[in-house]
A and B are shown apart, each in its own frame.
Chain A
Amino acid sequence: MTALTSRMRGTTADWLLRNHIWLFLALAVAVFSMASPYFLTVNNLGNVLTQAAFIGILAVGMTMVMINGEIDLSVGATLALASALAIGLQPAIGVWPAVFVGFLSGVALGALNGTLVALSGMHSFIVTLGGLIGIRGLVFVYTGEEALMVEDFAYTDIPEVYLGPLSLTAMIFLALAALFQWVLTSTRHGRETYAVGDNIAAAHDAGIRIKRHKIINFTICGALAAIAGILLSMRLGTAEPNAGRIWELWTIIAVVLGGTRLAGGYGSMWMTVGGILTLAVLRNGLRLLNTPNYVELMVMGSVLILALGLDRVLAARKGAA
């Protein structure tokens, strides 16, 4: 085992084999750079990062949950609720308290999902499918089906902070990815998250507190969904009750595209960032080339199936070697 990891850690080639999504990303960037003069500009790449950041932040949380061997389908609805609370409560309690309550709603719903999964032994797919339906219901009950609009548009200036081409939103995404990569590799919680996802029975026998790690990871996932929702509400100045609908699917697609395994125990934030950027580059590049929307949807679907096939081939080769 140690011999294997040290050998795999060895060369850049090995890193790229594990993170083959980055090769694909480089290829996509190269193709679009040649195809469109507007693609490889600092401004456009900054935009790509900002657009990617919202689903990217969801994906950081999803990666924690997935490495743990679980899944969270409720992130899109949680995002919508946090965004509605952050805007809707402003007249009553002020901007920052409203944002804080929005954040807390994500923490609470994530903790609820995690606790239900841990205590009941239900599959997280079922628990969070229920959550997806129910939390969307909460959003509709709270907003009364209306889009909420912010009263003071100073709110939309908050994320307008730039470091070169990097927006604050993009910086938060990258910072969160780096933070949780550190958590995964350098904290006990991170290492035990891998252990639980890899082999839950062995983890249990090794004395790892499985339930605690699951609850923590779902809470992280809910909290990050709320952060994405709050940033979205700042960017738009409104909170739509349908915001984030089917974003959970794009999030899962991005994470899996990156190479993190749905079965758990394997993956990293670098893979997820690669997956997110690949999806965003594909989308942005196709739009710059004026491709109709349907081509984009078809390309996304095909790429995903191809990536899955490629992953299967690579995994088989690794197993044979």
Chain B
Amino acid sequence: MTIDWQQALRRHGLIAAFGLFLAAVAVGAEGFLTLGNILDVLRQVSITGTIALGVTFVVVTGRLDLSVGSMLTLLTVIVVDQHNAVGPFGAIALTLLAGLGIGAVNGVLVGLFRLNALIVTLAMLSLLQGVTLWYSGGSNVNVAGAGETWFAVFGRGSLLGVPVPVLIFLGGAVVASFFLKRTTFGRAVHAVGGNETASRFSGIATARTVAAAYVVSGLATAIAAIIMGSRVMGAQNTIGQGYELTVLAGIILGGTSLMGGSGSIWRTVIGITMLGFIQNGLLLLGFEYYVQWLVSWVVIIAAVWLDLAAKRGRVLA
């Protein structure tokens, strides 16, 4: 039996490269591959990761969601502010509802009205920033009596040594993966992204599928906002700025195609976690935090190019 290297590289090249990177950092930085540090990295990526689980649905339909950063800010402000007003239960319920609502607005505009996803979600990025400033009156909000509330468990708690945000992220990944792979909805998401016309002719409600994907994205962002609010016990008006780009970078790095139709939750988990390990590894090696951006640049280009090259069997287009 011969090994088809091209096939192997195509399927597992990313993991192999990631393994090489981990090994290289582990040689240089003490304490990198310890359980404690690994859990630390997972905790750090849990917020971006949770958002990315939802955005993956949108990306697999062949669309984008650039509003999640602003949405995260608004929802974190809401959860923290409402915690003081109606208590943790009410705050969580309201935040989840708000996330579903904003996702639905995106979904109606992109799915039902068929407006361009990039522009709609860019517009929402600006609009939600405005709503945030209006809601908060421009000032920071803090959880009153941060020491006493059980709300702290989502961002700061741990269960059997595993931080709760990590459990939410990984548990969410299992649920999301089930929905994306094993349900009618998940298959519709893939079908719409793969070939919208064909899926419409085979009886899939494409508009509703796209809209639902945005609702999932809003829900995931709401869950991330609960983690964020609980970890910080407060919210500034810029707390989620730029998250949309990190989330997309992680999804792309995982190998999910922006053209839609292909992609999976586990790829997103790997992509996001890789970004986390790059950041953590470089810091442990003693680099300034912004060096990770340079490395991410190279890694994203290299990973996507390799993926494409393997698919078409040629390096150059």
Contact = CB atoms under 8 A, between A and B. Distances in A.
Contact of A295 (B125, B130, B259, B301): B130
A262 B300 contact: no
Interface string A294-317: 111111111011001100100000
A297 B290 contact: no
Contacts of A122: 301, 304-305, 308
A81 to B, nearest CB: 12
Contact of A298 (B131, B245, B291): B131
Contact of B301 (A118, A130, A296): A130
Contacts of A125: 258
By secondary structure, the A interface counts as helix
Interface stretch (B89-97, B112-120, B208-216): B112-120
Interface in A83-125: 116, 118-123, 125
B123 A304 contact: yes
Contacts of A132: 245
Interface string B281-293: 0000000101111
Contacts of B114: 312
Contacts of A295: 130, 134
B296 A133 contact: yes
A302 to B, nearest CB: 7
A294 B304 contact: no
B248 to A, nearest CB: 6
A80 B293 CA distance: 15
Nearest to A118: B317
B304 A141 contact: no
Contact of B293 (A140, A252, A302): A140
B298 interface: yes
Nearest to A138: B294
B290 A140 contact: yes
A115 to B, nearest CB: 11
B118 A119 contact: no
Given A121-B308, A134-B296, A140 B288 contact: yes
A159 interface: no
A130 B300 contact: yes
Contact of A301 (B113, B124, B308): B124
B249 A309 contact: no
Contacts of B127: 297-298, 300-302
By secondary structure, the B interface counts as helix
Interface string A126-154: 11011111111110110001000000000
A122 B252 CA distance: 11
A253 interface: yes
Interface residues of B, number: 47
A305 B109 contact: yes
Interface in A16-64: none
B129 interface: yes
Contacts of B118: 252, 262
A296 B129 CA distance: 10
A134 B122 CA distance: 21
Contact of A129 (B115, B125, B249): B249
Interface in B272-317: 288, 290-294, 296-298, 300-301, 304-305, 308-309, 312, 316-317
A294 B293 contact: no
B38 interface: no
B232 interface: no
B9 interface: no
A127 B298 CA distance: 10
B133 interface: yes
A79 interface: no
B126 interface: yes
Contacts of B248: 129
Nearest to B252: A126
Contacts of B113: 309, 312
Contacts of A294: 129-134, 138
A227 B226 CA distance: 43
Interface string A267-303: 0000000000000000000000000111111111110
Contact of A297 (B133, B293, B309): B133
Quick one: which of A118, A122, A253, A312 has the most chain B CB within 10 A?
Answer: A122
A215 interface: no
Quick one: which of A116, A129, A293 has the most chain B CB within 10 A?
Answer: A129
A121 B109 CA distance: 30
B79 to A, nearest CB: 19
B308 A141 contact: no
A299 B134 CA distance: 13
Given A133-B249, A301-B124, A302-B127, A293 B119 contact: no
Nearest to B133: A294
A256 interface: yes
Interface in B117-171: 118-120, 122-134, 138
Nearest to A144: B288
B249 A308 contact: no
B317 A136 contact: no
A176 interface: no
17 contacts: A120-B317, A121-B308, A129-B252, A130-B297, A133-B245, A136-B293, A137-B294, A137-B297, A141-B290, A249-B122, A294-B133, A297-B126, A297-B130, A298-B126, A299-B130, A302-B127, A305-B115
In order of increasing CB-CB distance, the 7 nearest A-B pairs are A134-B297, A121-B317, A301-B127, A137-B293, A297-B130, A298-B130, A294-B133
